[in-house]
Structure 1
């Protein structure tokens, strides 16, 4: 078995300096990962809940549904039942505004969620979900925003 030839130009000191992260570097990396984890555990549930709000509005715009013929109480009941089944419990999505004066029908569920990240620092998310009776295919963004949201 032959040994590999040693290179004269490659210094031995450079191998000794390549040992990995120092303790302080590891603490810094772990602190960043912990912060990202705390942020994710705070924000992801808010966006997941809003996804159910969007699905509730889209369920009103299904082809078999006649949302324009439903009364306000029927619309609220259908949305509330969807919330009950999908465990939407925060106060924000309960603010359902039904406006029959503008155009044909406009259902808005605009709300903000606030959660504490740590000490006195909060995370605030603002959600604007609109269902226009004339354009149910453009659900669920404000009427000025013509992009369709796909969840």
Structure 2
């Protein structure tokens, strides 16, 4: 007959309450960052796709900078990008080449007095059909 020893039970232990609390705080912090910063990156991807879709647009090279900016704003509105200021877009023309610069930053409140600043900068050179 085998004798149960309690000494082997003491050697086996799981995570302590402190370790579990630290893990919850760490993964909770990562989840908070993903929830707060994710929409800004998704909007930036949408802005990039809207600008890249301008490549090959009919009469793009004959449009003025204001018309190109209006076309970009329409595409951003259709894609539900809100809170983007059109002043962040600069359009320059160099012959048939249209140069579009987008330079903006997104500020989010993380918690209390801690804020995040995400800076995005893109440059596109394109021609119309």
Q: Shorter chain as normaliser: what TM range? A: 0.7 to 0.9
Task: Name the SS for the 2:53 alignment partner.
Answer: helix
1:130 aligns with 2:123: yes
1:42 is displaced (CA, Å) by 1.1
Q: Is the 8 A contact 1:96 1:108 kept in 2?
A: yes
1:49 is displaced (CA, Å) by 0.3
1:66 is displaced (CA, Å) by 4.0
Q: Find the counterpart in structure 1 of residue 15 from structure 2.
A: 21
Gaps of 5+ in 2: none
- TM-score of the pair, normalised by structure 2: 0.82
Structure holding more strand per residue: 2
Gaps of 5+ in 1: 137-151
Q: Is the 8 A contact 1:93 1:109 kept in 2?
A: no
1:15 is displaced (CA, Å) by 4.1
Q: Is the 8 A contact 1:93 1:110 kept in 2?
A: no
* Mapping of residues 1-150 of structure 1, within 5 Å: 13-61=7-55, 63-92=56-85, 95-101=88-94, 104-133=97-126
- Tell me how many residue pairs correspond in the alignment: 126
CA pair 103-123 structure 1, distance change in 2 beyond 3 A? farther
Taking only aligned residues, the RMSD between alpha carbons, in angstroms, comes to 2.6
Q: Find the counterpart in structure 2 of residue 148 from structure 1.
A: none
